[in-house]
Amino acid sequence: MAWKKIIPAKRTENIKYAIRDIVVLAKEVEKTGKEMLWLNIGDPNIYDFVTPPQVIDDTVKAMRDNQNGYAPSNGIDEAVNAIRLDAKSKGFKNIKEIFVTTGASEAIDIALTALLNAGDNFLLPAPTYPLYDAIINKLGAEPRHYFLDEENNWEPDLKDLESKIDENTKGVLIINPNNPTGTNYSKESLKGVIELAKKYGLLLFADEIYDKLLFDENDKHISMATIDTNAPIITFNGLSKSHVVPGFRIGWGIVTGKDELISDYNEGMQKFVRARLSANKPEQFAIKNALLTPQPHIREMLNKLKKRGEITYNRINAIDGLSLVKTSGAFYAFIKIDLDIDDFTFCKRLINEYGVVTVPGSGFGQKPNTKHFRVVFLPNEEILNRAYDKIEEFVKKLKEEGK
């Protein structure tokens, strides 16, 4: 009897991840010997950003002290306590639970899995980080997108958000500062989202992984959980970006809100937290100092990122056919294309012909009849300027072709 072909589950059909998928094409082009300029992945370690020594020292000490077994499911006490103190210093109240996870990604997966049934929908910003779409599709639910308003600094379009809510809507996501737009949301917008969630009985997700990466010292990040302490909110954060350790895979979720609103759901989440045993244990020993002691490396990071963000803003807006809303945090720019070409073809040709790797905006979701591409401005100024020279040359070529 012959072997039978193994067929993947139908849930795999809608799983896409543009940030990584574009790398497959770029690697093929790289094999031809073309120099590649990588502006596609938000990993600070592959550029000129270095993990703070204290983070490494604390982790190594834990390993040498034989802290290499299982951790408690929710995380070691000193890490959980540090996360709690850090949250309280920001104004968090009504903290019901803290759970340490294998990156913020695992916390997001657990929170969505405990919430959604097949046929439910969950509201995501457009554009958004594509992980959310992938998990929701995996669960047989619907990722439903509300628009961010490019004409209003990419703030949430509250009217559009409300129009997307129906009886099957279970929750709404805010990514703040936003990936891929780099926007730090206003308190007014956050209040508006909370009021809609309250009106329709929705759970709120607050992805705040970039909260420490704001360029202007006078710019303040506002955590959603500090605005309404009764609101049922799961806040996601971690060390990956701010402490230059994405490979450590250390993140967490913070459950806040009125007990009668969130206790049953929280217990459902905790079943999944316990079932997967624990996050990496040694790395958790880096959390206390990372959150509760001075971190001078962050200001050094921000000085670099602010300069590179300004270069990106000025260079892109000097190219006829492209435009960019100024970013205020993280390290992303979501660039509008006003040319007779779709964004996937734009990015594909930019890779093939010029070796510049960016990600098409369609991979993040975007408003219909708009076209964008995302760049990561982590590379140094010399690489960025070379990349923008090539993008400018490519746009000129496209204009010549269109004559």
pLDDT per residue as tens digits for the range 266-305: 999 999 999 999 999 999 999 999 999 999 999 999 999 9
Same domain as 300, residue 288: no
- One domain, residues 37 and 99: no
pLDDT value, residue 403: 47
Domain boundary among the residues 292, 311, 329 is at 292
> Is the same domain home to 74 and 28?
no
Q: Of 237, 267, 292, which one is at a domain's C-terminal end?
A: 292
4 domain-assigned: no
Closest CA to 355 of 313, 386, 317, 395: 386
Domain count, the chain: 2
Contact (Cβ atoms closer than 8 angstroms) between residue 126 and residue 367: yes
Question: What angle, rounded to 10 degrees, do the helices at 343-354 and 18-30 form?
Answer: 30
User: What was the pLDDT predicted at 11?
Assistant: 77
Q: Does 267 share its domain with 307? A: no
> Quick one: tokens of 227?
């605005």
Residues 283 and 305 in one domain: no
Helix (H, G, I), strand (E, B) or coil at 142: strand
Whether residue 211 is found in the same domain as residue 65 = yes
Q: Is residue 173 part of a domain?
A: yes
- The answer on 276 and 300 residing in a single domain is no
Instruction: Write out residues in the chain with pLDDT < 70, as ranges.
Output: 15-20, 403
Q: What pLDDT sits at residue 400?
A: 86
Whether 133 and 214 map to the same domain: the answer is: yes
User: Are 103 and 109 within 8 A, CB to CB?
Assistant: no
Tell me if 233 is assigned to some domain. yes
Amino acid 347: pLDDT: 95
3 state SS of 227: coil
Domain range holding 206? 53-292
Q: Are residues 214 and 307 in the same domain?
A: no
For residue 98, is it within any domain?
A: yes
- Whether residue 37 is found in the same domain as residue 81: no
243 and 307 in one domain? no
User: What CATH number is associated with residue 315?
Assistant: 3.90.1150.10
222 within some domain: yes
